[in-house]
Structure 1
């Protein structure tokens, strides 16, 4: 929200900001809506382009982090190891097309 506000104060378009960052205007839109997180180096770069200190983007925020909800598998009380195994099997299943190789990969987890 502060990113969009600062860009508008300077009269800069999303296209121009994207060009200065080496991004598309769609990526700038995602940053502005909060759909994508902004890394620290990108935030520093934005502060330079928008001629404002990095702290500007944090003004008005409380010192507390938002609560993150646990994933459904973790809410059921399953162990972290079991959760990682299931995740690897799902990943392997989408990447490995052969059922025989997929079964072999699931044994590795």
Structure 2
């Protein structure tokens, strides 16, 4: 479950940097929960090609995170927002909620 969650976070952060076909395959695998056989049939490629593409995309996404740390920094910001919200007045709380909304976009 942790790998699925982590991969979805990486796809949210860096998926736009993959090719359209890579994004579609990764979406089928991690968001739609298709089997390799189903993906292979949909894209008219072999299961081995699906496996290779997914492994390659995973490497690419992990590499982007190593370089940019967008997912890590986002988690850190969300933790800080939670700490600040505990002692925030209404005005500050409103600002934090707006910042959190921007994080989710």
* Structure with bigger RCO (C-alpha 8 Å, 6+ apart): 2
Structure of higher CA gyration radius: 1
TM-score in terms of structure 1 length: 0.29
